[in-house]
Amino acid sequence: MQILALRIALAALWVGCIAYAFLGGPPETQNPAQLAASLVDLALGRGEPLVVALFNLMGLIPLAYLFLLVPDAHGEKLPAWPFAVAAFGVGAFALLPYCIFRRPHGVWPHLPSAGRVVRLFDSRWFALAVMVGVAGLFWFALTQGDWATFAGQWRTSRFVHVMGLDFLVSTALLPLLIGDDLRRRSVKRTWPLWMACALPLFGPLLYLVLRPSLPARAV
């Protein structure tokens, strides 16, 4: 019953985000060519620092999800990789459908060695590198950004507006997969999940750095 209620809530959130992205917020004033040029500028670090940082964070957050999605996908009929790849482009709009339809579980199935991909996304050093990257972007935004300029762009640019919404939803969803990840690693303590919920983004990232390795049969 709880799982059904969670799926309904996530589905409502997904529909609400899509409706708001297209029907709410400021109108889009850039044509496709101008929008593509803006994306290139942001990728190259040109533009308002807060917007540049937000744009690059939306590349690191889906990477953080892979640390949870790669082990979570084992035993699932629904493959995670299409949603994970799409998340690099559309963020939570791709992650929410996977969270809705996945089958909650916390036990590794009896599979042969999962290989290098699982080992890569089970590495605490890789997780630490992602966490350092996120912290660096926050430092850049807070020390170089102009909040008045950012607020003006957030009010007038649909792209910036929706990207901000995407950041909030993607960050809020990260703890959702940690409960199963704890059971998968035979961790009975609940404080990592509370930490992940209490410290948005950095709590889940700290969990990825500190969590024990997967059982030997998984990797």
- Quick one: what percent of the chain has pLDDT higher than 70? 84
pTM of the model: 0.85
Residue 12 confidence (pLDDT) above 70: yes
Cα separation, 213 vs 219, whole angstroms: 9
- The pLDDT tens digits of the residues spanning 186-200 come to 888 778 778 888 889
DSSP 77-92: SS-SHHHHHHHHHHTH
pLDDT of amino acid 44: 65
- The pLDDT tens digits of the residues spanning 61-117 come to 999 999 998 877 766 677 888 898 899 989 999 999 998 888 776 555 544 445 678
Q: What is the CA radius of gyration of the chain?
A: 18
Domain that holds residue 194: 2-218
What's the total number of domains in the chain? Answer: 1
Cα separation, 197 vs 135, whole angstroms: 18
Cα separation, 189 vs 167, whole angstroms: 28
Residue 218 confidence (pLDDT) above 60: no
Q: How many CB atoms lie within 10 A of CB 93?
A: 20
| Residue among 136, 131, 134, 146 at smallest CA distance from 51 | 146
Cα separation, 192 vs 196, whole angstroms: 6
Mean pLDDT across the chain, nearest whole number? Answer: 83
Cα separation, 59 vs 42, whole angstroms: 12
Encoded amino acid at 181, one letter: D
pLDDT of amino acid 176: 87
Query: Which of 32-41, 58-67, 163-172, 187-196 shows the lowest per-residue confidence on average (mean pLDDT)?
Result: 32-41
pLDDT of amino acid 112: 44
